[in-house]
Amino acid sequence: MTGYQKPPELYDGLRLHQNENTLGCSPRVLEALSRLRADQIGFYPPYSATTEACAQYFGVPPDTVALTNGLDEGIMGLAVAGLRPFPDGLIPEAIIPEPAFEIFRFDTEAVGGRVVSVMPHPDFRFPLEGVLEAITPRTRVVFLTNPNNPTGVAMPLDAIRTIAGAVPKEAFVFVDEAYAEFSGTTFIPHLSLFPNVVVGRTFSKAFGLAGLRIGCLIGAVDRLDAVRLVIPIYSVNVAAAVALPAALEDLAFVEEYLRQVAESKELLYGACDRLGLTYWKSAANFVLVCAGERVAALVKGAADRGIYIRDRSAEAGCAGCVRIATGAVAHTQRCIEVMREVLCVGG
């Protein structure tokens, strides 16, 4: 594990607001990038080896994998494919259980769809009943996230199965699994029984490839073909295509990061208990913390000390809350020190 223990120095403060892997990427990724040749950079990239490596990692056939320029491109592609206007002029609907990744709303509105929001329970358990009640003949996409962002709360796989059986046959049920490595739970093994479900995965979080922008969609071939039609042919750059197989070969690096994430969450839970802050146990690499009326002072005071955390208080059910990434233990320890300074000593 040599080289994995010491977190890198971050040149622009400590970024705990984007859920990035602050350990960076595996050394094998850097080695692979260093071997890039001039002709590889000069030519459009081939994707077969990258797709095969990705399919092997997820245990699925290669034709059920579509590489995307970050998972964001996959979400946009699915919104374009799923939310096409009806011939009679009616507006297609996308159901979004709140709180949710804001891109779901942005993409739905950008392509002319109508957002149908389902409000959260106070404890953030998944609002299955509300989602089922929101389904109409105009439903064409249901956006789900497991575990949820920004709460970190996991949803039961049975809920996905129930929703997949309740939506119109033309609809997509999209499951954003950006944080599945941390939860250890995925719907991928069940996809063959639910062809209207598409799973989205990213290599930005657990694998530390956020700067290279690579993700993928996994699902039935006919569903992915509809999305592939609206995604640019060479949208994944050659550096990302070369880096991903190298990253997937070094699962020991990912395992060490997962270990530090788990330790960091326990450290942050303990600090919140001592500071009198409410929090939700997280299945991801971040924790949603409620600071109440102190939220603005906490965010500003932390930023003044070079620690960036995300104010989520404007989202449904998240009044007074911040989201704090929990990765490298040394970084979490520094964040806890700053939280104590701001909340106990003063901003």
Q: How many residues are listed for the chain in this entry?
A: 347
Tell me the mean pLDDT in the region 327-343.
96
Is residue 39 exposed (0-12), middle (13-18) or buried (19+ Cβ within 10 Å)? exposed
Q: Give the pLDDT of residue 4.
A: 43
Q: Look at residue 251 and tell me whether its pLDDT is greater than 60.
A: yes
3-state secondary structure the chain: CCCCCCCCCCECEEECCCCCCCCCCCHHHHHHHHCCCHHHHHCCCCCHHHHHHHHHHHCCCHHHEEEECHHHHHHHHHHHHHCCCCCCCCCCEEEEECCCCHHHHHHHHHCCCEEEEECCCCCCCCCHHHHHHHCCCCEEEEEEECCCCCCCCCCCHHHHHHHHHHCCCCCEEEEECCCHHHHCCCCHHHHHHCCCEEEEEECCCCCCCHHHCCEEEECCHHHHHHHHCCCCCCCCCHHHHHHHHHHHHCHHHHHHHHHHHHHHHHHHHHHHHHHCCEECCCCCCEEEEECHHHHHHHHHHHHHCCEECEECCCCCCCCCEEEEECCCHHHHHHHHHHHHHHHHHCC
Could you tell me the pLDDT band of residue 120, with boundaries at 50, 70 and 90? very high
Token output for 148: 């949820």
Q: Write down the residue that tokens 């109508």 correspond to.
A: 114
Q: Give the pLDDT of residue 104.
A: 98
CA distance 317 to 75: 24
Token output for 124: 């953030």
Q: Look at residue 238 and tell me whether its pLDDT is greater than 80.
A: yes
Token output for 194: 């639910």
pLDDT in tens, 177-223: 999 999 999 999 999 999 999 999 999 999 999 999 999 999 999 99
Provide the sign of the torsion angle of the four alpha carbons 37, 41, 43, 44, taken in this order: positive
Residue 144 CA: distances (Å) to CA of 99, 164, 174: 11, 11, 6
Residue 80 CA to its chain's centroid (Å): 20
Decide which of 205 and 10 is more confident. Answer: 205
Contact status, residue 296 vs residue 217, Cβ threshold 8 Å? no
Q: Give the pLDDT of residue 346.
A: 61
Residue 277 CA to its chain's centroid (Å): 25
Q: Give the pLDDT of residue 89.
A: 85
Q: Look at residue 2 and tell me whether its pLDDT is greater than 60.
A: no
Tell me the mean pLDDT in the region 146-164.
98
CA distance 197 to 186: 12
Could you tell me the pLDDT band of residue 347, with boundaries at 50, 70 and 90? low
Half-sphere exposure for 164 (CA within 13 Å, toward CB):
20
Type of residue found at 269: Y
pLDDT in tens, 32-73: 999 999 999 999 999 999 999 999 999 999 999 999 999 999
Could you tell me the pLDDT band of residue 13, with boundaries at 50, 70 and 90? confident
Contact status, residue 129 vs residue 141, Cβ threshold 8 Å? no
- Rounded to two decimals, the pTM is 0.94
Q: Look at residue 7 and tell me whether its pLDDT is greater than 90.
A: no
Contacts of 274 (CB under 8 A, 6+ apart): none
pLDDT in tens, 69-96: 999 999 999 999 999 999 888 999 999 9
3-state secondary structure 60-126: CCHHHEEEECHHHHHHHHHHHHHCCCCCCCCCCEEEEECCCCHHHHHHHHHCCCEEEEECCCCCCCC
Q: Look at residue 6 and tell me whether its pLDDT is greater than 80.
A: no
